[in-house]
Copies of this chain bind each other. A is one copy, B any other.
Amino acid sequence: MSKDNEGSVAVLEQPAQRPAPPRKQNGTVKFGVVGYGYWGPNIVRNLQSMSGVETTAVCDVSSAARQRVHKNHPQIYVTADASEVIASPEIDAVAIVTPVWTHFDLAKAALESGKHVFVEKPFTSKVAQAEELIELAERKNLKIMVDHTFLFTGAVKKIKQLLQEGLLGRLYYYDSTRVNLGLFQHDVNVIWDLAPHDLSILDYLIDRRPEALVATGEKHLNGLEDVAFITIYFPDNIIAHVNVNWLSPVKVRTTLIGGEKKMLVWNDLAPDEKVKVYDKGVDVNTHEGVYNLLVNYRSGDMWAPQLEQAEALRHELTYFINCIADGPVAINDAAAGLRVVRLLEAAGKSVRKKGALVYL
């Protein structure tokens, strides 16, 4: 689910006189897709397999990428000019699957052109950009969905359900490790590359707002942090920690979540039993004397609930179509995207100051 290699676009030129893209037909939601790198093909493939949806045009500045589109989907119009997609009257919604530094300009143009927007995470490079897009979308009555794909996986859905049902009791901590020999990015550090997954997940799972964070890390190769650790403080003593690393010999995707009543481990690389719920915990009884604090350990069965198997991205795109038709974007709307960007921006600030506490 990692989006290692974004599609590429030139910075948007002023849309000039241009040959007409394919014309609009009735009855289906027409998508234009900007960016056909690593993740774009998954968007197109899923859109193609859904009913009531159609991908009308795909843009990428790389000719090799455009040729791949044409080979796989000969019926789709291909262009190197993003403005051709964005401005097309045929198109209802634009999926922006390009590097983060291009998101703002592309999304802004799409919204101004009256299109709904489905945009890769992280939403934007800056908090101010996200705020501007939110304001613009509201004014134009258009939807923005940020591609926080993990929220639509069976694992995260199940964990959310367990938390909502109170199975874990009061939440104590969330601790995620996301490391591997990563694809180095030229434009962002490991925090902006890997942590958006974790930040979007914990934003969804933890129903409090973070208060402050501390980020530490180090650069070894190309002047960007390749190893980083983020601690996030929440109200009520909830603490989150995210360990991201591009220089790990092994791939790890493991999250520990500890609660008062139960604790769980989510190992996203396990072929089966990705989520294991442990009937383990600690009870503290205060006795008469202050010093006589008694800690009792509970240890019971382990239970691995069956998880929904369907492809998360397909779920998410279906959800987007439904939101366009008649509802608000709930769990991964632009506000969620903004919250993640705010955490990323704060983490960047903290890591540059060697772990300074940054309030949110």
Chain B residue, CB-CB nearest to A277: B249
Q: Does A218 count as interface, using CB distance less than 8 angstroms?
A: yes
Cα(A251)–Cα(B269), bound, Å: 15
Other than A214-B355, A247-B263, give 18 A-B pairs with Cβ distance below 8 A. Answer: A175-B243, A181-B282, A212-B354, A216-B231, A218-B238, A221-B284, A222-B284, A233-B354, A248-B256, A249-B264, A250-B265, A250-B272, A251-B271, A269-B271, A279-B306, A300-B306, A304-B304, A355-B357
Q: Does A301 count as interface, using CB distance less than 8 angstroms?
A: yes
Cα(A300)–Cα(B245), bound, Å: 20
Whether A217 contacts B239 by the Cβ 8 Å rule is yes
B residues near A264, Cβ cutoff 8 Å: 249
Chain B proximity mask over A185-224: 1 for CB below 8 Å, otherwise 0: 0100000000000000000000000001010111111100
Whether B248 contacts A258 by the Cβ 8 Å rule is yes
A-B contact pairs, 24 of them (CB 8 A): A172-B247, A177-B177, A181-B280, A181-B299, A212-B354, A216-B231, A216-B241, A217-B239, A218-B238, A219-B237, A221-B282, A221-B284, A221-B295, A227-B258, A241-B243, A247-B282, A248-B256, A248-B258, A249-B278, A249-B280, A251-B271, A279-B306, A299-B306, A301-B304
Whether B172 contacts A227 by the Cβ 8 Å rule is yes
* Copies of this chain present: 4
Cα(A243)–Cα(B239), bound, Å: 13
Whether A354 contacts B357 by the Cβ 8 Å rule is yes
Q: Does A356 count as interface, using CB distance less than 8 angstroms?
A: yes
Which A-B residue pairs are the 8 nearest by beta carbons?
A214-B355, A249-B263, A249-B278, A216-B231, A218-B239, A302-B304, A184-B295, A247-B258
With both chains docked as a complex, state the minimum distance between the C-beta of A191 and any C-beta of chain B, in angstroms: 14
